[in-house]
């Protein structure tokens, strides 16, 4: 089987990128990561990619209208013949045209059990709400922020005395587990976006 060509979009340290890279080393894994793009110059994740021999690009967003930034990302993805895009700690919101163009071929990870706690400062929101359980979600990216159909979720407990650091570390362990699983499902065609829903064939 030809491996799907994957690009990972990052803004930060890239621990999910590292987990995805590690997973692609598994024999028979149906995808390979061929490109990492950061909107933040010097993001730690760029070094993660370089050390793994993966091509990197920086596409700064500063001063660019959203559509122009999206167009640059889109051009880089097309030039690299990308099949699937994984957003991993990518802190920019795309315009509707970009989201539609890549619909079904672009995934995002979010550190909560969506639809609970979308947006930013997620662990702060979780702790402030006093809920006993949180987790993470890999979903198809759609034009509506953090509202695309779920591919996989994992739960973790919120424990007494938790801080943003302890909670995010617990959630991150699960992120690193489910993102490679979700990418595998999509790359194998076992989950696809159909009529605005995630259709499973597993």
Which positions lie near ligand GRF, rule CB under 6 A? 10, 12-16, 45, 88-89, 109-111, 172, 175
Q: Is the peptide bond before 115 cis (omega within 30 degrees of 0)?
A: yes
Distance between CA atoms of residues 149 and 199, nearest Å:
9
Shorter beta-carbon distance to ligand GRF: residue 71 or 153:
153
Measured at CB, which residue is nearest to ligand GRF? 89
The question of whether 61 is a catalytic residue gets the answer no
Given the complex with ligand GRF, which of 109 and 185 has the nearer CB atom? 109
Q: How far is the CB of 115 from ligand GRF (least distance, A)?
A: 15
Q: How far is Cα 182 from Cα 117, in angstroms, rounded to an integer?
A: 21
3-state secondary structure of 152: strand
Minimum distance from CB of 15 to ligand GRF (Å)? 3
Which of the residues 110, 123, 139, 176 is marked catalytic? 110
Q: How far is the CB of 71 from ligand GRF (least distance, A)?
A: 23
Pick 89 or 104: Cβ nearer ligand GRF: 89
β-pair partners for 107 = 86, 140
With 0-12 / 13-18 / 19 or more C-beta atoms within 10 angstroms meaning exposed / middle / buried, residue 192 is middle
Q: Kindly state the smallest distance separating residue 201's Cβ from ligand GRF, in Å.
A: 26
Are 143 and 96 contacting, i.e. CB atoms less than 8 angstroms apart? yes
> Judged by CB, which is closer to ligand GRF: 71, or 172?
172
Residue 57, Ramachandran bin (φ over 0: left; ψ between -120 and 50: alpha; else beta) = beta
- The residues assigned a catalytic role are 110
């Amino acid at each position: 089987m030809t491996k799907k060509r994957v690009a990972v979009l990052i803004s930060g340290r890239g621990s999910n990128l590292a987990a995805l890279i590690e997973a692609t080393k598994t024999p028979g894994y149906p995808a390979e990561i061929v490109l990492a793009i950061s909107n933040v110059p010097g993001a730690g994740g760029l070094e993660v990619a370089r050390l793994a021999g993966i091509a990197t690009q920086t596409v700064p967003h500063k001063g660019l209208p959203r559509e122009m930034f999206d167009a640059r990302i889109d051009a880089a993805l097309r030039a690299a013949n990308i099949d699937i895009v994984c957003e991993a700690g990518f802190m920019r919101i795309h315009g509707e045209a970009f989201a539609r163009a890549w619909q079904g071929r672009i995934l995002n990870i979010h550190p909560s059990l969506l639809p609970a706690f979308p947006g930013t400062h997620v662990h702060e929101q979780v702790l402030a709400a006093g809920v006993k359980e949180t987790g993470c979600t890999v979903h198809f990216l759609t034009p509506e922020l953090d509202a695309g159909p779920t591919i996989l979720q994992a739960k973790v407990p919120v424990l007494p005395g938790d801080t943003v650091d302890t909670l995010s570390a617990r959630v991150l362990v699960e992120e690193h587990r489910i993102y490679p699983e979700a990418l595998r499902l999509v790359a194998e065609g076992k989950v696809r976006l159909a009529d605005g829903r995630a259709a499973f064939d597993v």
